[in-house]
Structure 1
Amino acid sequence: MKLPGILLILIAFICCRPAHAQDGAASLLDHYEEAREYCLELVNELRSDNGLPSVRLEPLASELALQHARDMAEAGYFSHWDMQGHKPTRRYNELGGMHGLGENIFFAEYQAGGWQRVIDEAMDSLEASSGHRATMLNPGYTDVGLGMAVNGSRVYLVQEFICRAGGNYACPLKARVGDVVSFSGQFDPKRYALNYILLRHEPLPELREQRWLNNTGTYSEGDTMFAVYTPHTERRFNVDTYYDVGLKDDGRIDARLLLDYKGKPGSYYVILMLHDTRTGGEVKAACVAIEVLK
């Protein structure tokens, strides 16, 4: 049977267009390591053009980025939150990381061209956004994790920038209201000085649906600051509670933190802020989201 010409054109359009998009998107995964290295190269070119040192590709942060990219691709959402209601810091903590972190995410329907064009378009989009650009140009970040995922013609790219201002940090991820927990670690005292440790509170995370996630924007680490631990008693914040904090000459810190914001359960954020003597700026060296129950 001879098909009408218009129908033949319609069949060709339906069959060929998705195949082209999927083949192109799939090529990104075929060149995954090359694509990551190329993205890193573009990030560092941007930083160099603005007088900043390069960032290094970091394995744990890259695992975090890949997991979130895959989750968004598979579940069909686009957000800094995941479907458990967790934000980047909590996801990073659960993988074992506690350094200060900033996340960029990108999503687009794949257009014609090779995998390099996808990365170019992603970087152009991120650079055009003041918030994403500021994350890439934050002088405090030393490392970055990069992860990509594809679903059909959709491409997801996640950047996880971290500040490695010394060694690792330790803190429990679960506690109860009124507990006193230990936050410990060590930073490089030749470059950094302790400014303060903040405690911030927000309600416990809730399970989220695709529609809610797709309507989210920027994220924060805690809604309410309620306590400050600092050796700088002359600095004042809009909080009622101040605590002194001890520090060793070699940069070791072991702070005892009281988790009690008006007796409320919630996500309690522990945020370590250091002074960077090289840049004169302040860096978020560590951040922990503790699940605090009654």
Structure 2
Amino acid sequence: MKIIPLTVLLFISLTLFQKKALSQNVTSRQTGIDQKLATYHISREEFAYYQILNNKEHRLSAYRDDDLMLLSKIILLHRINDSREKYHVPPVKLDILASRVANQMSRESCDKGFFGHWNLEGEKPFHRYAFAGGTDHVSENASALITTGRISPEFDDIVGLMENAHSGFMKEEAPNDGHKQTVIGPFHNFVGIGTAWCEHGFRYYEEFIDRYLQFRPFQQTIKKGETATIQFRPLDKKLYPYVIIGYYEPPLKPMTRDEINRLNSYNDFSEDIAFQLWPWQIPSANRDGYITLRKRFNKKGLYYIQIYLSKEPYENGRRASNRGKIQASGIVIKVQ
């Protein structure tokens, strides 16, 4: 279980805006991507690699980054990995789908005058990522700037705001350093980065991803009384399924801006545990290494399924704990 901590607000003006959003098109006084690559010390090979991934990803195409915004994300990726290196944890890669999920949240938050970890549909980060097609575990950092001035759309200025937001996370001190701890989580291996700006505001979101499982296609929406079938296997054969926990929550309800703005941290779980499978209860893998989980759901709502992995095979009889294990999935099954 995890509680994602207090969000960051950088206030210049204390009044949320309700004005028409500006265009999201970033501009630049300098010409050409190559010049920007040189300025920010980003290799052409790395940029081309993420261009290919960006072009191959067709989900949430309305929130696709153009080349300049993709470059801004790669620049922030380097800043994030600089932060992680200082705390001796492995680097992360940029995830395109998670970045689009973060872009959507940033855009809606900015345009509609709210800020937090929930959207107006009442969805938390793991809902949004799962509904977009993600299956991994996600942890979110969020930052907002609200100002009486105007946000400059210049590329360097936007990158500067993104860097300032990330730096704000890393300046936190214990015990109030939840965002910092999210950045340097040792099991993260990907990150999505989203941003948006409006007439009097700026949003920045980081979606840290724990990707350790491969899933076969499954039906995400089922009817009450039907059985969900989920098949998965670790990407690394040296990791072992340890516990599977399914959390239930009732159907989501829309939220108002004021309700969202009053909330700070969010729980990465619910109080209603629908089922638990410990090491001695998890089915054996088939010849291809896939474990099949079948669960019948008799109550309408959402089931958030977390699969934990261990670096060591289980050998302790009937005693187990998920403490220190890798939280490797964020599947959400919708029962109608």
Q: 2:202 is matched with which residue: 147, 150, 155?
A: 155
Query: What residue in structure 1 maps to residue 167 of structure 2?
Result: 124
Q: Secondary structure at the match of 2:330?
A: strand
Q: Does 1:97 align with 2:134?
A: yes
TM-score (norm 2): 0.69
* Residues 161-200 of structure 1: pairs in structure 2 closer than 5 A: 161-168=208-215, 170-200=217-247
Relative to structure 1, is the Cα distance of residues 276 and 72 closer, same or farther in structure 2, using a 3 angstrom cutoff? Answer: farther
Q: 1:50 is matched with which residue: 87, 105, 108?
A: 87
Contact 1:198 1:271 (C-alpha < 8 Å) held by counterparts: yes
Counterparts of 2:231 and 2:25, CA distance in 1: 44
* Residues 54-65 of structure 1: pairs in structure 2 closer than 5 A: 54-65=91-102
Once the two structures are TM-superposed, the CA of residue 259 in structure 1 deviates from its matched residue by 2.1
Contact 1:182 1:257 (C-alpha < 8 Å) held by counterparts: yes
Counterparts of 2:166 and 2:216, CA distance in 1: 31
Counterparts of 2:277 and 2:229, CA distance in 1: 13
Counterparts of 2:218 and 2:278, CA distance in 1: 18
Once the two structures are TM-superposed, the CA of residue 193 in structure 1 deviates from its matched residue by 0.7
Query: What residue in structure 2 maps to residue 6 of structure 1?
Result: none
Letter in 2 for 1:185: F
* Residues 115-264 of structure 1: pairs in structure 2 closer than 5 A: 115-127=158-170, 128=172, 130-168=177-215, 170-220=217-267, 221-232=269-280, 243-248=281-286, 251-260=289-298, 264=299
Contact 1:171 1:288 (C-alpha < 8 Å) held by counterparts: no
Letter in 2 for 1:284: Q
Q: Secondary structure at the match of 2:262?
A: coil
Counterparts of 1:223 and 1:158, CA distance in 2: 26
Query: What residue in structure 1 maps to residue 15 of structure 2?
Result: none
Letter in 2 for 1:163: D
Structure 2 unmatched ranges of 5 or more:
1-20, 29-67, 313-322
Query: What residue in structure 1 maps to residue 113 of structure 2?
Result: 76
Query: What residue in structure 1 maps to residue 302 of structure 2?
Result: 267
Contact 2:215 2:230 (C-alpha < 8 Å) held by counterparts: no
Query: What residue in structure 1 maps to residue 330 of structure 2?
Result: 287
Q: String of CA shifts for 1:153-194, please: whole Å, max 9, x gaps.
A: 311011111111142454432223433211112212433111
Once the two structures are TM-superposed, the CA of residue 80 in structure 1 deviates from its matched residue by 1.2
Q: How many residues were matched structurally?
A: 256
Counterparts of 1:226 and 1:36, CA distance in 2: 38
Letter in 2 for 1:226: A
TM-score (norm 1): 0.78
Counterparts of 1:203 and 1:86, CA distance in 2: 12
Relative to structure 1, is the Cα distance of residues 193 and 29 closer, same or farther in structure 2, using a 3 angstrom cutoff? Answer: farther
Percent identity (aligned): 23
Once the two structures are TM-superposed, the CA of residue 52 in structure 1 deviates from its matched residue by 0.7
Greater C-alpha radius of gyration: 1
Letter in 2 for 1:92: Y
Contact 1:246 1:255 (C-alpha < 8 Å) held by counterparts: no
Once the two structures are TM-superposed, the CA of residue 114 in structure 1 deviates from its matched residue by 3.1
Once the two structures are TM-superposed, the CA of residue 138 in structure 1 deviates from its matched residue by 1.2
Structure 1 unmatched ranges of 5 or more:
1-21, 233-242
Contact 1:84 1:205 (C-alpha < 8 Å) held by counterparts: yes
